[in-house]
Amino acid sequence: MQDRFVHCIAQLPESLADNLVPLLNQDFAGHMDAQQVADLAKATQMHQDELLLALLPVAAALAKPPISEFYVGAIAKGASGDIYMGANLELDGEALFHSVHAEQSAISHAWLSGETGIEDIIVNASPCGHCRQFMNELVEGQAIRIHLPEQATQPLSHYLPYAFGPADLNIKTPLLSKQQHEFALESADPMIIEALDHLSLSYAPYSEGYAAVVLETRDGATFCGRYAENAAFNPSMLPMQMALSSMARHNRDFSEINRAVLIESSQGKISLVGATMDALHAVAAVELEHIMVDPV
């Protein structure tokens, strides 16, 4: 079991802890498939909603909050029945806009894993306005069920009435919808090819600033992020923050980064290069490779 889970395991009911420990191996990064969740519910005789709330300390153990020292865990349950954990991330000494909220981390985890719908969000503190707005960008966002400890489950519409979202700006394919954007680039570099794949899946309907980041560690592992825009603009999630959040979930230290690529559309109304460089230089002494590509 990974060291970061030792403290939280001690907080769990004994039957859950006993059945969970084998899953928390060195490869565990917050994902459980639907069968694993069902098996845990059966072994512990817990209703699934009760089980997911009980798992929140595990999600919170993924957090890196050097500024607030406030550990927040969240779990996104996908339409597939799989669950995706996320946690808050803060960059030490850097502006707070670089922070990733736990709900954003969990949702981006699901999106990067291929989910096309989120049915439930389980979180250990009431979602802030930023996160409510971010969730409202998703497919059927207002219907997502929010689960909080010792509170009745409510849809997002309860927490964000009179919402402003994609439909108000005539966007009919919200975040998590299947979509593919084509760009012209030929490369034999596997890392750039991977970045191009994520660029094509990024979500930027307001600025058309489609973008993706790939980070490579010294052992050759790669961690990716895609741009996820928001109708309210500020809750947009930058691809660098998404990639760093993925690294944190995988228990990798940012000092291991030895290469970083940002690829973005040449036709976007904005560029993410400045913000991306700021975040990268806050965590690693690596120069950013910046590639602009033309849409097809």
pLDDT digits (tens, 9 = 90+) for 167-219: 999 999 999 998 899 998 999 999 999 999 999 999 999 999 999 999 999 99
Domain that holds residue 153: 27-169
Q: Are residues 157 and 200 in the same domain?
A: no
Tell the burial category of 43 from Cβ atoms under 10 Å away from its Cβ (0-12, 13-18, 19+): middle
What is the tens place of the pLDDT at every residue in 239-266?
999 999 999 999 999 999 999 999 999 9
Q: Are residues 130 and 202 in the same domain?
A: no
pLDDT at 145: 98
Q: Are residues 189 and 291 in the same domain?
A: yes
Domain boundary among 145, 169, 193: 169
Residue positions in the annotated binding site for Zn(2+)? 101, 128, 131
Q: Are residues 153 and 261 in the same domain?
A: no
Q: Are residues 164 and 31 in the same domain?
A: yes
* Nearest of 252, 238, 272, 225 to residue 97 by alpha carbon: 238
Tell the burial category of 93 from Cβ atoms under 10 Å away from its Cβ (0-12, 13-18, 19+): exposed
Q: Are residues 71 and 201 in the same domain?
A: no
Read off the pLDDT of each residue in 227-237 and give the average, rounded to a whole number.
97
pLDDT at 179: 85
| Number of structural domains found in the chain | 2
* DSSP per-residue letters across 179-212: ----EE-----HHHHHHHHHHHH-B-TTT---EE
Whether 8 shows a pLDDT value over 90: the answer reads yes
pLDDT at 273: 98
Residue % of the chain over a pLDDT of 90: 95
Q: Are residues 68 and 138 in the same domain?
A: yes
pTM metric for this prediction: 0.96
Residue 7 lies inside a defined structural domain of this protein: no
CATH number, domain containing residue 104? 3.40.140.10
What is the tens place of the pLDDT at every residue in 58-78?
999 999 999 999 999 999 999
Known catalytic residues are 103
pLDDT at 192: 96
Q: Are residues 162 and 252 in the same domain?
A: no
Domain boundary among 146, 169, 192: 169
pLDDT at 292: 97
What is the tens place of the pLDDT at every residue in 11-58?
899 999 999 999 999 999 999 999 999 999 999 999 999 999 999 999
pLDDT at 125: 87
Q: Are residues 160 and 46 in the same domain?
A: yes
Q: Are residues 190 and 107 in the same domain?
A: no
* Nearest of 151, 150, 154, 149 to residue 135 by alpha carbon: 154
Domain boundary among 169, 201, 226: 169
Q: Are residues 165 and 232 in the same domain?
A: no
Q: Are residues 37 and 155 in the same domain?
A: yes
Residue positions in the annotated binding site for substrate? 88-90
